């Protein structure tokens, strides 16, 4: 079968849809069908870290920086953005230029980072549209064309959307330019409790495996009962979750046994031992300066 | 429900950060004291599992879909403190690696999804278990626990947004509450399905979690949350006359330049920039804001360091 590009529109039937498609040498037609791949999970890219994670293996000056530098730098910059009143044009341009320069230096695909960071917009947009309701006035007005109420509201909306988007972009720059192990080691060295870092490292390490198992369980469900709906669907999803829970529990026992047999004594070794160099100091100073410029202007 | 950066005011996100960090640090200590190395490894795998299970999405209404969050399920099968840490790890990794929820807003997101959610879920489930230990009671209890956790966590997020002056309380609670009341049905049904499966296949796993002593803990955390809520409410009451700390400072500084300023509206910082004294006022307000934030952050960090030192001595 050679399907035309499908939009897997109906999340009610995971993997199953009625889009028009064409088999080799036959006219286009439509009927409920599904493909081998689990399509119900596509909107959640966070479930498939590997594709995005591959960006962290790019070679660039930004990638070479110490992970702690990047975490602290991004946090400082975000603090600057968050603490300032709604960004003025000059501030927004400064930020955009800074982030564009960083992205270029890091040799990362701008489009991908932009679209991925835009994932904050649905929720931010909802609140941004609600926010003007709470603003009972504002003295900002576009050339006297709009009422004071609308003017103040628009500024609030812009403030929420721009801050959310810029901040998300900052964090994605860190996530795309730092390998997972380095990031977790940096958190440990920034004094995040060890139990917590261990949970984080297990998530990054095993979510791919468990996600793959979940996908095959769902594919199996869809193959046997393609038109499940409503309560029956939810109950089956619950059974899948329970099944995966039992399997993961048993996997956890095996993992622990394997760790103990390799000398695990209750603490995770930190593999990265980099030192802060002049480039790191320069980078942090630049982040702090930009943050101050934005917060204080 | 992941609140991004820039949506919460400093008067909300700083207390939320300090509160959540405190509760979770305490939880981490409890977990270390309570669980063996092997159980902690198990808990870490469970964190990965909850993260993977968030891929489970289901139709909600009007062609949109929600996804399984897992806070109540974790609280039911792991117990309260492990569930809080597991959810905190999930929320933190989403913020760090996927920009799903902000860094300054992380404290608030941890509060709603990693503290309120599991706490409500555990409390409802334990209560249902006390009423009856039959299968039906457990399934109904898990459904109610997950639905309640979903809705109450959403309402907590709505209140945080309201405290930040982001929206009128009515509008934001209605929007968040109604939406999550719908999503909560899916969450509840999946959680009940999970518990039903475990009852049939591995009832021993559920019994393990049941043996955890949390009645006292649930009460203790409820008191802490109550105090936080009271403080937040009184702060917001004080703040309601001064819409925002920064704005308040701005206004105070602005009044020092009386006669030169054009700041008349209740939101003076939205005036078009360009006037000299106004920029100056902005700079001064910014400095005040940064100093206040710095002092708060320093106080929070010192407190945490003291706690860690204490922990080290034990």
Residue A31: pLDDT over 50: yes
In chain A, domain spans? 46-178+274-296, 193-224+233-261
- Whether residue B56 and residue A199 make contact (CB cut-off 8 A), yes or no, is no
Of B98, B255, B120, B268, residue with least CA distance to A183:
B98
Q: What is the pLDDT of residue B108?
A: 93
Chain centroid to CA B312? 28
The mean-pLDDT minimum among A17-26, A65-74, B191-200, B238-247 falls in B238-247
Q: What is the pLDDT of residue A258?
A: 92
pLDDT higher than threshold 80 for residue B249: no
Asked if ipTM goes beyond 0.90, one says no
- pLDDT, averaged across chain B: 73
To 5 degrees, how large is the angle CA B114–CA B40–CA B300?
45
- The angle subtended at Cα B108 by Cα B5 and Cα B56, nearest 5°, is 90
Q: Is the pLDDT of residue B287 over 70?
A: no
Contact A211/B52, CB-based, under 8 Å?
yes
Q: Up-side HSE of residue A185: CA atoms within 13 Å toward CB?
A: 15
Higher pLDDT, A240 or A39: A240
The C-alpha of B104 sits at a distance from chain A's nearest C-alpha, in angstroms, of 7
Chain A hits for B28, Cβ within 8 Å:
193, 195-196
Q: Flag whether pLDDT at B166 surpasses 60.
A: yes
How far does the CA of residue A81 sit from the closest CA of chain B (Å)? 7
Q: Mean pLDDT for chain A?
A: 78
pLDDT digits (tens, 9 = 90+) for B179-217: 888 889 989 999 999 999 999 988 888 876 666 655 556
> Nearest-CA neighbor of A134 among B247, B165, B238, B244?
B165
Q: Are B101 and B113 in contact (CB under 8 A)?
A: no
What pLDDT does A29 receive?
A: 62
Domain boundaries, chain B: 10-240, 242-313
Interface contact B197-A238, CB threshold 8 A? yes
> B189 vs A256: CB contact, 8 Å cut-off?
no
Percent of chain A with pLDDT over 90: 24
pLDDT of amino acid A175: 93
pLDDT at B212: 63
Residue pLDDT, tens place only, B83-128: 999 999 999 998 998 888 889 999 999 999 999 999 989 888 888 8
pLDDT given at position B275: 37
First-to-last alpha carbon distance for chain B, in angstroms, is 38
Pick the CATH number of B10-240 from 1.10.760.10, 3.30.70.60, 1.10.1760.20, 3.30.70.100: 1.10.1760.20
Separation between Cα atoms, residue B117 and residue B74, nearest integer Å: 10
- Phi–psi pair at B66, nearest 5 degrees: -115, 170
Tell me how far apart the alpha carbons of residues B301 and A277 are, in angstroms, rounded to a whole number.
Answer: 25
* Residue burial B4-24, b: 16+ Cβ < 10 Å; e: rest: bbbbbbbbbbbbbbbbbbbbb
Q: Which residues of A touch B279 (CB under 8 A)?
A: 297
For B24, nearest residue in chain A (alpha carbons): A196
pLDDT, residue A242, reads 92
> How are beta strands B65-67 and B57-59 bridged, if at all?
antiparallel
Highest-confidence range of A68-82, B117-131, B245-259, by mean pLDDT? A68-82
Chain B residue whose CA is closest to A82: B6
A52-66, A251-265, B51-65: which has the highest mean pLDDT? A251-265
Q: Are B199 and B135 in contact (CB under 8 A)?
A: yes
Q: Which of A33-47, A152-166, A245-259 shows the lowest mean pLDDT across its residues?
A: A33-47
On the question of pLDDT at B281 being above 90, the answer is no
Q: Which of A230-234, A282-286, B231-235 has the lowest mean pLDDT?
A: B231-235
Q: Do B282 and A159 touch (CB under 8 A)?
A: no
Using an 8 Å CB-CB cutoff, list chain A residues near B204: none
DSSP assignment, residue A108? -
Distance CA A202, CA A196 (A): 10
- Exposed, middle or buried by CB within 10 Å (0-12, 13-18, 19+), for B259? exposed
């Amino acid at each position: 079968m050679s399907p035309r590009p499908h939009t897997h529109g109906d999340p009610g039937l995971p993997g199953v849809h009625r889009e028009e498609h064409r088999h080799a040498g036959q006219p286009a037609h439509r009927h409920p069908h599904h493909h081998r791949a689990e399509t119900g999970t596509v909107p959640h890219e966070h479930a498939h870290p590997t594709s995005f994670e591959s960006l962290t293996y790019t070679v660039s000056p930004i990638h070479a920086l110490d992970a702690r530098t990047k975490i602290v730098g991004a946090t400082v910059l975000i603090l600057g953005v968050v603490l300032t009143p709604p960004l003025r044009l000059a501030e927004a341009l400064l930020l955009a230029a800074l982030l564009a320069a960083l992205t270029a230096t890091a040799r990362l695909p701008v489009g991908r980072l932009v679209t991925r960071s835009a994932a904050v917009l649905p929720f931010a947009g909802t609140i941004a549209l609600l926010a003007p309701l709470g603003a009972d006035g504002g003295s900002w007005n576009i050339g006297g064309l709009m009422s004071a109420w609308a003017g103040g509201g628009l500024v609030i909306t812009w403030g929420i959307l721009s801050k959310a988007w810029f901040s998300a972009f900052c964090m994605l720059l860190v996530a795309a330019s730092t390998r997972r192990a380095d990031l977790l080691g940096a958190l440990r060295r920034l004094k995040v409790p060890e139990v917590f870092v261990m949970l984080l490292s297990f998530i990054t390490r095993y979510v791919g495996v468990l996600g793959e198992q979940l996908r095959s369980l769902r594919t199996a469900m869809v193959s046997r009962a393609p038109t499940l709906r409503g309560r029956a669907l939810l109950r089956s999803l619950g059974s899948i979750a329970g099944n995966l829970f039992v399997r993961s529990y048993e996997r956890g026992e095996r993992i622990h046994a394997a760790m103990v047999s390799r000398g695990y004594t209750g603490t995770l070794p930190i593999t990265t031992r980099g030192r802060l160099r002049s480039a790191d100091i320069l980078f942090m100073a630049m982040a702090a300066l930009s943050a101050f410029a934005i917060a204080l202007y | 429900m992941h609140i991004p950066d820039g949506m919460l005011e400093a008067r909300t996100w700083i207390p939320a950060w300090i509160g959540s960090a405190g509760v979770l640090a305490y939880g981490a200590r409890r977990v270390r004291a309570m669980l063996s190395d092997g159980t902690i490894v198990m808990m870490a795998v469970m964190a990965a599992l909850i993260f993977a299970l968030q891929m489970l999405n289901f139709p909600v209404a009007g062609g949109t879909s929600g996804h399984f969050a897992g806070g109540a399920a974790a609280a039911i099968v792991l117990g309260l403190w492990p569930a809080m840490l597991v959810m905190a790890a999930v929320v933190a990794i989403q913020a760090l690696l996927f920009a799903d929820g902000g860094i300054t807003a992380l404290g608030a997101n941890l509060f709603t999804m990693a503290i309120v959610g599991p706490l409500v879920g555990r409390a409802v489930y334990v209560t249902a278990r006390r009423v009856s230990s039959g299968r039906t009671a457990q399934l109904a209890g898990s459904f109610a626990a997950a639905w309640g956790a979903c809705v109450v966590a959403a309402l907590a997020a709505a209140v945080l947004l309201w405290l930040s002056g982001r929206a009128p309380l009515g509008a934001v609670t209605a929007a968040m509450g109604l939406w999550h009341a719908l999503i909560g049905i899916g969450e509840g049904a999946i959680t009940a399905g999970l518990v039903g499966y475990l009852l049939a296949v591995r009832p021993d796993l559920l019994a393990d979690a049941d043996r955890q002593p949390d009645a006292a803990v649930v009460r203790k955390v409820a008191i802490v949350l109550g105090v936080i809520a009271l403080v937040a409410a009184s702060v917001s009451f004080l703040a309601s006359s001064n819409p925002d700390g920064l704005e308040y400072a701005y206004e105070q500084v602005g009044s020092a330049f009386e006669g030169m300023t054009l700041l008349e509206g209740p939101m003076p910082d939205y005036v078009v920039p360009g006037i000299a004294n106004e920029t100056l006022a902005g700079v001064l307000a910014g400095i005040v804001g940064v100093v206040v934030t710095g002092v708060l952050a320093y106080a929070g960090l010192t407190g945490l360091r003291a706690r860690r030192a204490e922990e080290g001595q034990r």
